[in-house]
Amino acid sequence: MKEKRRALGRGLDAILESPDTEILSKERSGKPAIGNVTNIPVGNIESNPFQPRDSMEEASISELADSIKVLGIIQPLTVRSLGYDKYQLIAGERRLLAARKAGLTEVPAFIRVANDQEMLEMALVENIQRKDLNPIQIAIGFQRLTEECNLTQEQLSQRIGKNRTTISNFIRLLKLPPEIQIAIRNETISMGHARALINMESTDNQLDMLRMILERSLSVREVEDLVRNLRTPLRPKNAEKKQPLPQKFRVIQRSIAEKLSVKVDIQRNTKGKGSIVIAFDSDDDLDRIIAQIL
């Protein structure tokens, strides 16, 4: 009876087992060589200590395990050699968990050399490329890459293929209050809503707007209009542009101020109407000014 074929993906196991293929070349010791893809016992791979994923849904792992039973692992894992036939996962945590759940004893993996800094960077970059991340998870990944891996936003842009403005917009989300970040994470509000809220001046205003969005189911366009109006106070229709005070009135203003020893302000519109404002510091000061005038 023929041995049951291992579920390593259609065609992938044949490539790996071919003695002619370059990617399965061995070191003289017979151990897998660095830079190659080969089958590695599941028990010889330890988890990535820099794994950035905060949670993995059991249902999602089970679905992937069912797929692996039928199709095998299509994309090899990435590991680094620790020596003595031990390996540490760089990328592919979800695939490794699903492979264990599917009962596989070996998995295809690409072996490479990486230090801890590179391990962290590769794990974060792979994590960011996932399609099931919410904006806050992406923002945290971008921030960790810039801070912990000492990457500028421009360098990060080149590594992940996203423009610098996109990266900056995501990182700015982390400046929002926790209540709003939770709403983004839970998909209660969208990235568009969040970007509008960033432009508000105070945390209280941001939280008030969040409540308004939830209560009224406001669209992104409606929120943008509201925020714009709050930042631009309405000018009364009959408001007139203040005109410079003519020279002769400036002379009079200065003379009154000197005589009374107080600050004097003459306000006058283009029609000749206006007022004279005389400042005083106390009741006694006011009595003194009145006595001088009268």
Question: Could you tell me the pLDDT band of residue 211, with boundaries at 50, 70 and 90?
Answer: very high
How confident is the model at residue 24, as a pLDDT?
34
Exposed e or buried b for every residue in 104-140, given b needs 16+ CB within 10 A?
bebbbbbbeebeeeebbbbbbbbbbeeeeeebbbbbb
Question: Could you tell me the pLDDT band of residue 213, with boundaries at 50, 70 and 90?
Answer: very high
Question: Could you tell me the pLDDT band of residue 111, with boundaries at 50, 70 and 90?
Answer: confident
How confident is the model at residue 231, as a pLDDT?
64
pLDDT one-digit tens code per residue, 178-187 = 889 889 988 8
> Among candidates 15, 17, 8, which has minimal Cα distance to 71?
8
How confident is the model at residue 117, as a pLDDT?
63
What Å distances lie between residue 86 and 6, 81, 83, CA to CA?
Answer: 21, 6, 6
Q: What is the mean pLDDT of residues 245-272?
A: 80
Q: Which of 93, 106, 121, 126 is catalytic?
A: 93
| Average pLDDT along the chain | 75
Go through the chain and tell me how many residues it has.
294
Question: Could you tell me the pLDDT band of residue 80, with boundaries at 50, 70 and 90?
Answer: confident
Indicate the range of 199-203, 236-240, 260-264 predicted with least confidence: 236-240
List, in sequence order, every beta strand (DSSP E) within 65-213.
77-83, 86-91, 106-112
Residues of the chain with pLDDT > 90: what percent? 9
Q: What is the mean pLDDT of residues 92-101?
A: 87
Question: Could you tell me the pLDDT band of residue 29, with boundaries at 50, 70 and 90?
Answer: very low
Whether residue 238 is predicted with pLDDT greater than 60 in this model: the reply is no
Q: How far apart are CA 156 and CA 145, in angstroms?
A: 7
The verdict on whether 93 is a catalytic residue reads: yes
How confident is the model at residue 248, as a pLDDT?
80
Alpha helices in 37-92 (DSSP H): 58-71
Question: Could you tell me the pLDDT band of residue 113, with boundaries at 50, 70 and 90?
Answer: low
Q: Show the domains of the chain with their CATH numbers.
A: 12-114 (3.90.1530.30), 176-231 (1.10.10.2830), 247-293 (no CATH)
